[in-house]
Amino acid sequence: MLISLVVSKWRAGLSEKLGFIKFSKDILSNKNIWVHAVSYGEVKTVEPLIYELQKAFPEYNICLSTGTQTGQNLAKSLFSHNSNNSKLLKNIFVFYCPFDFCFSVKSLMNKLNPKMLIVAETEIWPEMLAQAKQKAIPTFLVNARLTNRSVNRYKFLKPIFGQVLKTFTGIYTQSERDKIRFLEIGALSERMKVLPNLKFDSMQKAQPEKVDELKQELNIKANSIVLIAGSTHKGEEELICKLFSSLLSHFHNKNLNLDLRLILAPRHLDRVHEVESICKNHKLIFRKRSQNNAREFEAGQALLLDTMGELSQMYAVSDIALLGGTWAKIGGHNPLEAAVYNIPILVGEHIYKISDLADQLAELGLLFQTISYESLFTKILELIQNENNNDNSLQPKAKIELDKSVSSSIIELIKQSTDF
């Protein structure tokens, strides 16, 4: 708390963090569901869940707390009456989560009197959970995750922390590995369930008819094997073009007539001319999406994606994805756009921005990390040969099924665990 008084960005909402929250009469006089998402990323993650909660429990107010200023700003921009958000059935009450002290949490609980508490990812506060248990409030940890470092730290407090975890009515983890970690520090197995990452609810998957239409538009055949390099940065296009040229030479020397193609999508379109030069230096024939010659895209060629907003649907017509920002020192971009189509995703050394997602997708057999050019070439070669031979040995261990949203699955589990 003393740090909050010194650091300006943490002073934001200090009175609310101390429990002095002004509630409207509508909140005080009606039934409420409290959702806690600490920062910007967590707020964005629970956004689709909030819409589903409003549909599933229309008689309840949804009250959303955050712990950071960026999280608060995003929540208010998404859910206030000024947001013009057509997905909202009614406004969300947004506030700062109180410090985990008895007096501040108790003040909130007594006024808000929530009928349910939903906490996102790793926000596990003993006082909050203890008072929820005292009031018999069902509590759920959604999109739950734990790192190895966190597990090792919590193990020292397992007798205490295990009791805290046992207060949860349900814990829904992002992966089997996360579930095991929670079990190691005292969570109850019968209250746990592994679900896909909630972030998948924000991913838009192209409809089959749209995919067929796009394949026809790009002249992609049934036997085509399409590599896609998405959101690439300076230095990565050189690597990808070298890789593609080497693959073409390899299969030519083996007298294998494969319909192998490349879709190359630079992250920043102001670099398109630079990427064109790289393609020319590697003697690659390429077409540009913005021009009519995209329809002339053929085997052994590259398609330069120089248009905005089309990358996600291009993953739908591809067979293998190379994720940009992982060979350059960027830290990686969103792998879920490719993962929703259950295609193999290859990444380089630099994945620190997406390490949790990368671990989950690797666990499913969807993502492979390659540190060197040689290992990248070998893995791509292996994937192509298995694709060409219809060998299923490198198919995902567990496909990501999105017939219904993750949010819907969470709400079904909540209803099964409570009398809502």
Residues 262 and 174 in one domain: no
For residue 367, the domain's CATH number is 3.40.50.2000
pTM of the predicted structure, to 2 decimals: 0.77
- 339 and 234 both lie in a single domain: yes
- 164 and 212 both lie in a single domain: no
**109 and 63 together in one domain:** yes
The pLDDT > 70 percentage for the chain reads 93
What pLDDT shows up at residue 78? 93
pLDDT in tens, 216-233: 999 999 999 999 999 999
Over 60: is that where the pLDDT of 81 sits? Answer: yes
pLDDT level of residue 392 (50, 70, 90 thresholds): low
Specify if 399 maps to a domain. no
Q: Are 158 and 273 within one domain? A: no
3-state SS, one letter per residue, for the chain: CHHHHHCHHHHCCHHHHCCCCCCCHHHHHCCEEEEECCCHHHHHHHHHHHHHHHHHCCCCEEEEEECCHHHHHHHHHHHCCCCCCCCCCCCCEEEECCCCCHHHHHHHHHHHCCCEEEEECCCCCHHHHHHHHHCCCCEEEEEECCCHHHHHHHHCCHHHHHHHHCCCCEEEECCHHHHHHHHHCCCCHHHEEECCCHHHHHCCCCCHHHHHHHHHHCCCCCCEEEEEEEEECCCHHHHHHHHHHHHHHHHHHCCCCCEEEEEEEECCHHHHHHHHHHHHHCCCCEEECCCHHHHHCCCCCEEECCCCCCHHHHHHHCCEEEECCCCCCCCCCCCHHHHCCCCCEEECCCCCCCHHHHHHHHHCCCEEECCCHHHHHHHHHHHHHHHHCCCHHHCCCCCCCCCCCHHHHHHHHHHHHCCC
Judge whether 155 lies within some domain: yes
Give a yes or no: residue 130 inside a domain.
yes
89 shares a domain with 134? yes
Per-residue model confidence as pLDDT tens digits over 292-301? 777 789 999 9
Same domain, yes or no: 110 and 197: yes
Give how many domains the chain has, as a whole number.
Answer: 2
- Do 410 and 378 belong together in one domain? no
Range of the domain at 44: 2-202+404-417
The 10s digit of each residue's pLDDT in 227-283 is: 999 999 999 999 999 999 999 999 999 999 999 999 999 999 999 999 999 999 999
pLDDT score at 410: 97
Residues 77 and 156 in one domain: yes
Same domain? 357 vs 289: yes
Residue 42 sits in the same domain as residue 154: yes
Judge if 198 and 236 occupy the same domain.
Answer: no
